[in-house]
Chain A
Amino acid sequence: MRLVTALTPEALPLIEHYRLEQVDSDPLFPLYRNDTIYLVVSGIGKTLAAAATAYLHTKSGELPNQPFLNIGIAGHHRSIAGAARVANRITDQSTGQTWYPPQIIRDSMERSALITVETVERDYAEDAAYDMEAAGFYPIAWRASSAELVQSLKVISDHPGESVAHLDLQRIEGLIGNCFDEIDGLVKALQDLAGIVVSTTPEPYRLEPFVERWHFSVTQRHRLRRVLARWAVLAKGEDPLTSVPSGCPSARHTIEALENALLAKPLDLHAEVARPLPKLS
Chain B
Amino acid sequence: MIQTIYIERQVADHPRAREVLARFPAAQRIDCDRYTEIFNPKNQNFRLQKQQPALIIAHKFGKRVLSAPEGYGIGGQHNYYFSHMLNCIYDCRYCFLQGMYRSAHYVLFINYDDFFASMDRTLANHPSEDVWFFSGYDCDSLALDPVTGFATHLLTFLESRQRAFVELRTKSTQIRALLAAPAIPNAVVAFSLTPTETADRFEHKAPPIAKRLQAMRQLADKGWPLGLRFDPLIFDDAFEERYRRLFEEVFAALAPQSLHSVTLGAFRMPQRFFRNLIRLYPSEPLFASPLQNRSGLVSYSKTREEEMIRFCLKELTTYVPPERLFSCSADTRQHGNPPVQTLQAAGVPKR
Contact = CB atoms under 8 A, between A and B. Distances in A.
Contact of B32 (A100, A146, A196): A100
Interface in A176-232: 193, 196-197, 200-202, 229-230
Contact of A147 (B43, B54, B288): B43
Contacts of B44: 102, 146-148
A106 B52 contact: yes
B289 A269 contact: yes
Given A89-B30, A148-B48, A193-B51, A263 B281 contact: no
Interface in A228-251: 229-230, 233-234
B285 A233 contact: yes
B130 to A, nearest CB: 40
Kindly name the residue among B4, B37, B45, B234 whose own CB sees the greatest number of chain A CB atoms within 10 A: B45
Kindly name the residue among A145, A202, A233, A234 whose own CB sees the greatest number of chain B CB atoms within 10 A: A233
A105 interface: yes
A103 B288 contact: no
Contacts, number: 109
A126 to B, nearest CB: 11
B10 interface: no
Contacts of A234: 285, 288-289
Contact of A196 (B37, B48, B286): B48
Given A148-B48, A266-B237, A268-B236, A103 B28 contact: yes
Nearest to A102: B49
A233 B236 contact: no
B201 A269 contact: yes
A102 B6 CA distance: 11
A103 B3 contact: yes
Contact of B37 (A98, A233, A275): A98
Interface string A243-275: 000000000000000010011001111110101
B25 interface: no
A137 interface: no
A111 interface: yes
B238 interface: yes
B58 to A, nearest CB: 14
A270 B201 contact: yes
Given A267-B237, A270-B197, A146 B48 contact: yes
B290 interface: yes
A267 to B, nearest CB: 5
A233 B54 CA distance: 32
B118 interface: no
B57 to A, nearest CB: 14
Given A267-B289, A269-B289, A270-B201, A104 B48 contact: yes
Contact of B236 (A147, A201, A267): A267
B283 interface: yes
Contact of A146 (B28, B45, B198): B45
Interface string B285-327: 1111110000000000000000000000000000000000000
Interface of A: 65, 88-89, 98, 100, 102-106, 111, 113, 142-143, 145-149, 193, 196-197, 200-202, 229-230, 233-234, 259, 262-263, 266-271, 273, 275
Interface of B: 3-4, 6, 28, 30, 32, 37-38, 41, 43-45, 47-49, 51-52, 54, 103, 105, 197-198, 201, 234-238, 278, 281-290
